[in-house]
Amino acid sequence: MSGLRDALADYLALRRSLGFKLERPGQLLAGFVGFAEQAGAPTVTTELALAWATAPADADPAWWRLRLAAIRPFARYLAAVIPGTEVPPAGLLGGPASRRAVPYLYQAAEIDALMAAAGAIRSPLRAATCQTLIGLLAVTGMRAGEVIRLDRPDTDLQAGLLTIRQSKFGKSRQLPLHATTIAALASYAALRDRHHPRPATPAFFLSLTGTRLIYKNVHRTFRQLTQRAGLRPRSPACRPRIHDLRHSFTVATLLNWYRDGGDVAARLPLLSAWLGHADPGSTYWYLTGTPELLALAGQRLDEHPRDRP
């Protein structure tokens, strides 16, 4: 390996030991290092970083900023070990590296349409994999990566428990499942085992070849299914994404709590633990002020005037 590639391996190992997954940044940086090797560059320079980040030339500038943002922390790390390293200035391509997308909150009918589109896939195993994966995301609010990483021992269908191991920041948790979810997972497992009785991977969800699902392929398939299901962007900033199933689950949970008259503030730490957050502050990222949610919150405030500031 080149010195730059060795440095990248050390950098990623250090950051990951601190709890950062760095899945996309790791892929981007591997591409940048390959670009630098072809150019014969021993380290990062601003000119080199810009040349790589702004490709392809017809890409969205937000994509360029995302690529450059992946390089900057790596360059800061390199500056301590490789003389001549330059750290590209922040804001060099204008604007922040990324902006928060407006969550696409799925209605029940839209999730049904997604499931129907998945069920129309020609391969029975692939159809069942897509349907079960989407359904599990919708009813648990799990991250897509967490579902992909599930192994068979993590799905205790007898006890009705999912174990999510070493997720974001190295945290693990268990989720109790509803009887209908257990039945859906058991049905998928039976079909999967008929197609792949001796798989080479312990993964719960399998591809057609019997391997673990690949993150980018799951995202690509989900985009295709949203199109087949007739789901369209609600605005340039609000497009149906697989991660928005997590947003939808969070908002739906709060709506149900307001409707059943429960103490929402007292229950928020439970929701945070369920989602794998250290505290409710992280959960607020997923709370979107929908008209219905705001109306219920306002109604609750009117019912308890003594709680007003």
Active-site annotation, residues: 143, 168, 243, 246, 277, 286
Residue showing tokens 């429960």? 262
| Strand 161-164, strand 173-176: pairing | antiparallel
Q: Which of 292, 286, 203 is nearest to 243 (CA)?
A: 286
DSSP code of residue 208 = T
**Residue 246 and residue 141 in contact, taking contact as beta carbons nearer than 8 Å:** yes
Q: Are 152 and 260 in contact (CB under 8 A)?
A: no
Q: Is the peptide bond before 56 cis (omega within 30 degrees of 0)?
A: yes
Return d(Cα 25, Cα 21) in angstroms, integer. Answer: 9
Rounded-to-integer distance, Cα 83 and Cα 182, Å: 57
Residue 118 neighbours by CB distance under 10 Å: 24
Q: Which residues fall within 8 angstroms of residue 261, CB to CB, at 6 or more apart?
A: none
